[in-house]
Structure 1
Amino acid sequence: MEFTLERYPRTIELPDETSITLRLLTAEDTEKLIVLFANVRDEDLRIMRDDVTDPNVLRHWTQTLNYERVMPIMAEVNGEFVGEVSLHRHPNTPHDNVGQIRIYVQEEFRRRGLGSQLLRDVIELGRDLGLFQLVMELFIDNAAIISAFERRGFEREAILPVYQMVVMRYDLGTRPGREVLDIDHADQLPPRREWPDLIFDSALLDIPDEFNLSDMLLDDIVARGWGERTAIYYRNEEVSYELLLGEVQRLSYSLARLGVQAGTPVLLHMPNTPQAIAANLAVQRLGALSVPTPPQFSPHELDFIAAESRAMLAITTTDYQADISRMRAATEGRLGPIVVHGLPDHAPDEQLYSYARLVARGQQGYPATLRRRNQIGLLLYTSADSGHPRGTAHRLDGLLATLDIFGRQVWRVNEEDIIGHLAPLGFAQGFVTFGLLAFRFGASVALPDDPMAESGTELVSTIRRHHITLLSASPVVYRQILADQSVNTLDLASLRLCSSGGEPLTKETYLAWEERFEQPIFEGFGTTEMLYAFLSNAVGMAPRPGSLGRVVPGYQVKVVGDYGNELSSGEIGFLMVRGPTGTLYWNDTASQHKSVRNGWNRLSDYSYMDPDGYYWFVARSDDLIKTRSYRIDPTEVEAAIQAHPRVSEVAVIGLPDEMRGQRPVAYIRPHEWEEAHSVLAQSILSSLRGRLAEYKMPDEVVFMKDALPRNAQGQLLRRVLRDQVRRQGEE
Structure 2
Amino acid sequence: MNYVDNFAHKNLPSQKYQPDYIYDGENFQFPEDLNCVEKLLDHHIKEGRGDSVAIRTFEKTWTFQDLFEKSNQIAHVLVDDLGLVSGNRVLIRSANNPMFVAIWFAILKAGGIVVATMPLLREKELEVMIESAEISHAFCDYRLEEALVAVKSKFLKQTITFDGTETATSKLEVLMHNKSKDFQNFPSKADAVSLIGFTSGTTGNPKMTAHYHKDILLICEAFPKYALQPKPEDIFTGSPPLGFTFGLGGLVLFPFYYGASTFLIEKPSPELLLEAIDRYKVSILFTAPTAYRILTTKAKDFDISSLRKCVSAGETLPEKVWEDWHEATGLKIIDGIGATEMLHIFISSNEENMKKGATGLPVFGYEAKIIDKKGNELGINEAGRLAVRGITGCKYLNRTEKQKEYVHNGWNLTGDIFKKDEDGYFWFVARGDDMIISSGYNIAAIEVESVLLKHNDIAECAVVGLPDENRGMLVCAYIVLNDKSKACEEYAKSLQNWFKENAAPYKYPREIRFLEQLPKTETGKIQRFKLKRINA
TM-score of the pair, normalised by structure 2? 0.95
Shift in CA distance, 386/306, structure 1 to aligned 2, threshold 3 Å: closer
Report the AA paired with residue 60 of structure 2: E
Superposed displacement of residue 183, structure 1:
6.8
Q: Partner residue of 1:578?
A: 389
State the secondary structure of the residue aligned to 1:261: coil
Checking the alignment, whether the CA contact within 8 Å between 2:235 and 2:261 is kept in structure 1 is yes
Residue 384 of structure 1: CA displacement? 3.5
Structure 1 length as normaliser, TM-score? 0.70
Q: How far apart, in 2, do the equivalents of 1:415 and 1:206 lie?
A: 23
Match of 1:201 in 2: 24
Report Cα offsets for 1:500-521 as digits up to 9, x if no partner: 1111111111111111101100
Alignment partner of 1:409 out of 209, 214, 226: 226
Give how far 1:682 is off: 2.7
Q: Aligned partners of 2:165, 2:150: CA distance in 1, in Å?
A: 20
Contact 1:344 1:354 in 2 (8 A): no
Deviation at 1:531, TM superposition (A): 0.6
Corresponding residue SS for 2:502: coil
Q: Partner residue of 1:591?
A: 402
Structure 2, unaligned runs of 5 or more: none
CA contact (8 A) 1:506 1:545 kept: no
Q: How does 1:148-297 map to 2 (within 5 A)?
A: 185-257=8-80, 258-297=82-121
Aligned partner of 1:721: which letter? L
Deviation at 1:374, TM superposition (A): 0.8
- Which of 214, 220, 223 is equivalent to 1:397? 214
124, 145, 149: which is aligned to 1:300? 124
Q: Letter of the aligned partner of 1:714 in structure 2?
A: G
Contact 1:418 1:444 in 2 (8 A): yes
Does residue 502 of the first structure (1) align with residue 314 of the second (2)?
yes
Q: What is the aligned length?
A: 529
Whole-angstrom distance in 2 between the partners of 1:186 and 1:223: 32
Aligned match of 2:525: 715
2:371 is aligned with 1:560:
yes
Q: Is the 8 A contact 2:34 2:214 kept in 1?
A: no
Check the 8 A contact 2:34/2:189 in 1, yes or no.
yes
Match of 1:678 in 2: 489
Q: Which residue identity lines up with residue 498 of structure 1 in the other structure?
A: C
Equivalent residue in structure 2 for 1:483, among 288, 297, 302? 297
The Cα of 1:196 is off from its aligned counterpart by 1.0
The residue matched to 1:242 in structure 2 has which SS? helix
How far the C-alpha of 1:695 sits from its partner, in A, is 0.9
Change (3 A) 1:666 1:597: same
Conserved? CA contact 1:233–1:446, under 8 Å: yes
Cα distance in 2 between the residues matched to 1:385 and 1:591 = 15
1:615-667, Cα deviation, whole Å (9 max, x unpaired): 00000111110012211011111121122222222111111122221111111
What is the CA distance between 1:383 and its match in structure 2? Answer: 2.3
Alignment check: 8 A CA contact 2:100 2:164 kept: no
**Letter matched to residue 284 of structure 2:** L
User: Which residue of 2 is the match for residue 646 of structure 1?
Assistant: 457
Which residues of structure 1 form unaligned runs of 5+? 1-181, 346-351, 727-731
Deviation at 1:574, TM superposition (A): 0.3
Considering only CA atoms, is the larger Rg found in Structure 1 or Structure 2?
Answer: 1
Q: CA deviation at 1:468?
A: 0.8
Residue in 2 aligned with 1:636?
447
1:503 aligned counterpart, secondary structure:
coil
Give the % identical residues: 30
Mapped partners of 2:172, 2:230: distance in 1? 32
Q: How far apart are the structure 1 equivalents of 2:165 and 2:405?
A: 48
Q: Indicate which of 657, 661, 666 corresponds to 2:472.
A: 661
Counterparts of 2:187 and 2:9, CA distance in 1: 19
Residue number in structure 1 paired with 2:345: 533
Q: Does 1:608 align with 2:419?
A: yes
Question: Cα distance, 1:689 vs. partner?
Answer: 2.3
Find the aligned partners of 1:444 and 1:299 in 2 and give their Cα distance. Answer: 33
Shift of 1:385: 9.0
The 3 A distance-change label for structure 1 pair 673 and 632 is closer
Counterparts of 1:534 and 1:305, CA distance in 2: 26
User: How many angstroms apart in 1 are the aligned matches of 2:270 and 2:423?
Assistant: 33
Matches of 1:205 and 1:499, distance apart in 2: 23
What code does the residue aligned with 1:641 have?
A: L
1:700 maps onto 2:511 in alignment = yes
- Asked if 2 retains the 8 angstrom alpha-carbon contact of 1:341 and 1:354, the reply is yes
8 Å CA contact 2:448, 2:463 repeated in 1: yes
TM-aligned CA deviation for residue 237 of structure 1 = 1.7
Mapped to 1, the partners of 2:308 and 2:391 lie a distance apart of: 28
Letter in 2 for 1:290: V
DSSP-derived class of the 1:685 partner:
helix
2:153 maps to which residue? 331
Q: 1:59-138, aligned counterparts within 5 Å?
A: none
| 1:494–1:343 distance in 2 versus 1, CA, 3 Å | closer
- Match of 2:48, SS? helix
Alignment of 1:456-475 (within 5 A): 456-475=270-289
CA contact (8 A) 1:204 1:554 kept: no
Q: Please, what is the CA RMSD of the aligned residues?
A: 2.0
Q: Give the structure 2 partner of residue 354 of structure 1.
A: 171
Residue type of the partner of 1:494?
Answer: S
Instruction: Return the alpha-carbon distance in structure 2 between the equivalents of residues 670 and 650 of structure 1.
Output: 9
Secondary structure of 2:428's counterpart equals strand
After TM superposition, give the deviation of residue 437 of structure 1 in Å.
1.8
Residue 528 of structure 1 and its aligned partner are, at CA, apart by: 0.8
